[in-house]
Structure 1
Amino acid sequence: MSVKTPYKYTSPYNTSRVKIYIDESGDLGFTDRSSPYFVIAALIVHDPLAIRRCFAKVRRNKLKKKYRELPEFKFNNSGPEIRKRILSCIASADVDIAYCVLRKEQVYPHLRSNHQIVYNYLTGSLISHIVQRFFDGGPVEITVDKSLNGIQREAFDQYLVYKTFEKNQANDLAAIPIEIVHADSKNEPSIQAADFIAGALHYYYRTNDDTFSGIIDEKVALAYDYFKGPQK
């Protein structure tokens, strides 16, 4: 069951809802074994049922035993064909994609031990840009994996609301109705879809191979390369 935070306001004037699903790929470590890149991907879903059907369709097809027994599909535990099938299905759905990529060599030394601060900043900045692009007057629902612990979760929620308000205080979006949901990715196909998107993008930045990211490229509405600024 989803755990909803108290940071919620429902508009009495507009019942349309912007649905954003967040996941990431890579890590925020700074050792020799750490990935040089960290990607946060956001899936803006206009038809959640279509995403659910993507994963149901893959499960209906003949799968190797190791895949049939998985509680959920993830980019990192899937082979190339499953990755392509799921990404192609996502690309055919009514969705938009936004993401940011951090080149960790550019992170200030004093922030390298403050992983949560870096994560909150990146996610908050990305969400604020998405809201500027897609907000239409109704509530904004942001769904993330519930893996954050209680203290981190509260700080994360507060910062997302603060950052979105701060970014939009000079325009008509200053009173954005926001709902943040922490859900189990096993029960939320759209989070699983965001995982595949983040994984495909991270794979591209690591290898310069667009075998997977190229499938979803036309769906990318916003892309931010920190610290190079917007790429789309």
Structure 2
Amino acid sequence: MLVFIDESGDPGFKLAKGSSPIFVVALVAFKEIDQSRRAIAAIDDAAKKAKLPTEFKFSKCRPEVRDIFFESVLPFDFSIRAIVIEKEKIYSPHLRTDKEAFYSFFVKSMLKFDNGLLKNAKVVIDGSGEQMFKRELSSYLRKHTGENAIRKVTFSDSRNDRLVQMADMCTGAIARSYRENRDDAQRWREMLKPKIEDIWPFR
């Protein structure tokens, strides 16, 4: 099993000064390697169709490019799970002041309460952050998830990894659905609806 993770929003709590009110972490899971490889090929073709010279990033793609992307991946067998955090409901001083702890806690929570999805999974996370944090996060996730749920945790630069880009696009679509001031808030989440197993509003 292959699992790709990305986030949308930031872990900051200066909500009056520009920090995002919502933080979303989502995973895209492939049970079959062949399906992931076919998805990569389809994303490559989508990039050519969209005349996109760089990576797919939800926040930087035009609406029509998002449509092309999601239409290209929907035929494949994958699932999506996400956790949505409304920061105003987080009261823990530790989580409000330690950005790495905040990120680790919610990635762990999403993976731990996976409804039995993860089995000997290789987990790939967008590769930002310091090396020490990466090592600590890898150890933390294996320690705090179910037995035999995670085989390996690695980090990958989204610029060179189509499936990390896919995680970014899916996470962005879910995050956009919480922006009620946007006419297209539900547009791409609705496209992904057949693939979404669970979206957990954290309380």
CA distance in 1, matches of 2:56, 2:194: 23
The equivalences for 1:38-187 within 5 A come to: 38-45=23-30, 46=32, 47-61=35-49, 63=51, 67-68=52-53, 70=54, 72-108=55-91, 110=93, 111-130=95-114, 132-136=115-119, 139-164=120-145, 168=146, 174-176=147-149, 178-187=151-160
CA distance in 1, matches of 2:13, 2:195: 31
Say if 1:75 and 1:222 are closer, same or farther in 2 by CA, change over 3 A. same
Structure 1: 5+ residue stretches without partners: 1-17, 169-173, 228-232
CA distance in 2, matches of 1:176, 1:77: 33
Q: Deviations over 1:82-132 (max 9, x none)?
A: 1111122222211000000000001115121111111111101111223x4
The equivalences for 1:152-231 within 5 A come to: 152-164=133-145, 168=146, 174-176=147-149, 178-207=151-180, 209-227=185-203
Say if 1:52 and 1:176 are closer, same or farther in 2 by CA, change over 3 A. closer
Structure 2: 5+ residue stretches without partners: none
CA distance in 2, matches of 1:148, 1:160: 16
Percent of pairs identical after alignment? 25
Q: Structure 1 residue 155: deviation in Å?
A: 1.6
Q: Structure 1 residue 57: deviation in Å?
A: 1.3
* Corresponding letter in the other structure for 1:154: R
Say if 1:85 and 1:120 are closer, same or farther in 2 by CA, change over 3 A. same
Q: Structure 1 residue 134: deviation in Å?
A: 2.2
Does the 8 Å CA contact 1:51/1:193 hold for their aligned counterparts? no
Q: How many pairs were matched up? A: 194
SS at match of 1:101: strand
Does the 8 Å CA contact 1:143/1:181 hold for their aligned counterparts? yes
CA distance in 2, matches of 1:115, 1:135: 26
Q: Please report the TM-score for the alignment, with normalisation by the length of structure 1.
A: 0.78
CA distance in 2, matches of 1:221, 1:19: 16
The structure that has the greater radius of gyration is 1
CA distance in 1, matches of 2:132, 2:187: 38
Q: Structure 1 residue 175: deviation in Å?
A: 4.3
Structure 2 counterpart of 1:34: 19
Does the 8 Å CA contact 1:75/1:83 hold for their aligned counterparts? yes
Q: Deviations over 1:12-52 (max 9, x none)?
A: xxxxxx21100011111111211110000100023111221
Instruction: Spell out structure 1 runs of 4+ moving beyond 6 A.
Output: none
- Relative contact order, CA 8 A, sep 6+: which one is greater? 1
RMSD of the TM alignment (CA)? Answer: 1.7
Say if 1:179 and 1:155 are closer, same or farther in 2 by CA, change over 3 A. same
CA distance in 1, matches of 2:150, 2:108: 15
Q: Please report the TM-score for the alignment, with normalisation by the length of structure 2.
A: 0.89
